[in-house]
Amino acid sequence: MATTHVKEMKTLTEHLGKHQLKLTRQRELILGAFLRQEHITAEAMYHQLAKSDPHLGLATIYRTLNLFCDAGLAQARHFGSQTQYDNIAHKGHHDHLICTNCQKIVEFENEEIEQLQEDVARKNGFTITTHRLELYGLCSRCRH
Amino acid sequence: MATTHVKEMKTLTEHLGKHQLKLTRQRELILGAFLRQEHITAEAMYHQLAKSDPHLGLATIYRTLNLFCDAGLAQARHFGSQTQYDNIAHKGHHDHLICTNCQKIVEFENEEIEQLQEDVARKNGFTITTHRLELYGLCSRCRH
DNA sequence: TTGAAATTGATAAACCGTATCAATATCATA
DNA sequence: TATGATATTGATACGGTTTATCAATTTCAA
């Protein structure tokens, strides 16, 4: 973790410093695990990290993932009854096409749409830091 | 209600007939209230209808809004920790600009973006039934 | 090294939506 | 219109997800 995610680690420590928060073993551990994924739920991470640290509590994972959201490293997305925490770095400019029948997810990128989003934001006096675009429907297989 | 929402009433009764379901006083009442809004939560409707019918149960409202989804009159959308039921008739109006500092939400609609979304979906063999577009950033007041 | 303050783990509680079930309302049929 | 099979309702228990609580522990500035 230490050598591969220097940038994200810096983003986190800067956020911590700015808000009088502390860097803990658990936060480092969770950050390392989080950055390895594109998106994950708190529950999934709980099971995944049980091997590394059997005493790591679920509440700590929720708290930490929410902290990552505050720090701008993660983004919470409510899907069904659960919350997915998206890795901002991995996400980049990928938007999603999601099949509501088989749950298949196709990533896409569209520069024209991004541009129009900027236009909309500017017209309303907003400065965009991130966005989320999800198209729900049926994939070709499930339509039949 | 009776005279203004004839079309939606027909859609509902057709769905009811097709599935051996019955038209009840509660379903009529909830339909009338629902069609007056662009989107609403079950909880909000519960309080809103308490005046018209103090004994109307929350479970009935959930059941009925889900029924409207099945009938194609409504669409459920997970927003924050709650479920918003969108009025299909008003569809296309539920994209959002969200200020990450003050939580202000501005709704917008952009026909060009919608069109491009259709293009992307078609290229990937998808048929879109709904979508979610949220732009996160700072509003003009919070940027300063 | 010290100690004020933040964090943790365990778990209780809150929250949202669904399941259950006896009582009631609907509506096709006679 | 009256009947009765069946769908619906309201009240509430329940289940899953996330947050709040709090004593014990850890962090880190001085």
- So what's the pLDDT on residue B1? 46
CB atoms B132 and A132 under 8 Å: yes
- So what's the pLDDT on residue A93? 63
- So what's the pLDDT on residue A2? 44
Model confidence pLDDT, tens digit, residues A76-131: 988 788 999 999 887 666 788 888 766 678 889 899 999 999 999 999 999 988 88
Whether B132 shows a pLDDT value over 90: the answer reads no
Do B44 and B30 form a contact (C-beta atoms < 8 A)?
A: no
Cα dihedral value A90, A94, A95, A96, nearest 10? -70
Most confident of A58-62, B77-81, B110-114: A58-62
Helices (H), B19-110: 25-35, 42-49, 58-71
Better-predicted residue by pLDDT, A143 or A35: A35
- So what's the pLDDT on residue A143? 80
User: What's chain B's average pLDDT?
Assistant: 90
Q: Rounded to two decimals, what is the model's pTM?
A: 0.79
The A 40-69 residues near strand C by Cβ under 7 Å are: 53, 55-60, 63-64
- So what's the pLDDT on residue A41? 96
Whether A23 shows a pLDDT value over 50: the answer reads yes
Whether B96 shows a pLDDT value over 90: the answer reads no
Give the count of beta carbons closer than 10 Å to the beta carbon of residue A102: 11
CB atoms A108 and B120 under 8 Å: yes
The B 78-107 residues near strand D by Cβ under 7 Å are: 81
Domains of chain A: residue spans and CATH: 6-90 (1.10.10.10), 93-143 (3.30.1490.190)
In whole angstroms, C7 C1' to A37 CA is 25
What is the mean pLDDT of the segment spanning B130-138? 85
Interface test with A, best of B97, B126, B127 (most A CBs within 10 A): B126
Better-predicted residue by pLDDT, A102 or B60: B60
What is the mean pLDDT of the segment spanning B131-138? 86
In whole angstroms, D28 C1' to A25 CA is 14
Do B99 and A126 form a contact (C-beta atoms < 8 A)?
A: yes
Whether A36 shows a pLDDT value over 90: the answer reads yes
- So what's the pLDDT on residue A107? 86
Interface test with A, best of B122, B133, B139, B140 (most A CBs within 10 A): B133
CB-based contact (8 Å) between A124 and chain B? Answer: yes
The share of chain B scoring above pLDDT 90, in percent, equals: 62
Model confidence pLDDT, tens digit, residues A50-73: 999 999 999 999 999 999 999 999
Cα B107 to Cα B84: distance, rounded to the nearest angstrom: 14
Cα A133 to Cα A114: distance, rounded to the nearest angstrom: 10
